[in-house]
Amino acid sequence: MKYIIIPGIIAIVSILGYFGMKYFSPSQKPEGAGSVKSIYDYSYRSIDGNEVKLSAFRGKKILFVNVASKCGFTPQYDDLEKLYEEQKDGLAVVGFPANDFMGQEPGSNEEIASFCRLTYGVTFPMSEKISVVGEGKHPIYRWLTDKSLNGWNSAGPKWNFHKYLVGETGELLAVFPSTTEPGSGEILAYLR
């Protein structure tokens, strides 16, 4: 009996370890990979309804984050705001509210904006509520998650507060899961 149980446990642990590492580990741009289409060709509508062209951020790194107000990771708004304040000369943080994961962003654009300002003092740019997965995903998230456009990454957000970092010249540098805190060493290493 133990000859059946032990290999079974080893197989389960190996499988969980493999998928756990894929899910919880940051991804970074492979050497020599380049963007096929420029991120600067895209724009989004701000939470206040204005069009924002990503070309306005040229020369800065951009951290794209799909956000939600009723998620266990929602307190990351504090750290995103702190990161934005400390790095805003060289970094744009852009929040994209999305209700794609367990209905954790049910509010209207007005409710989301009010919640972010009043609860977390958010001043970094926020888009209107969008979708970041599936057929209706926003074109910016199509670029971030399609290697035929960005040059190397096809991984979409697995949950709220998934992060994509784009470099000063518009190349996708790294992808970080929700568990990576905005002020973590993994992210700060790209901002030095």
Catalytic residues: 71
State which H helix or E strand residue 67 sits in.
Answer: strand 61-67
Number of helices followed by number of strands (H, E) in the chain: 6, 7
- Three-state DSSP at 94 gives strand
The Cα 146–Cα 113 span in angstroms is 29
State which H helix or E strand residue 175 sits in.
Answer: strand 172-176
**Helical axes 109-120 vs 76-87, angle rounded to 10°:** 80
Please name the amino acid found at residue 6.
I
The Cα 186–Cα 12 span in angstroms is 29
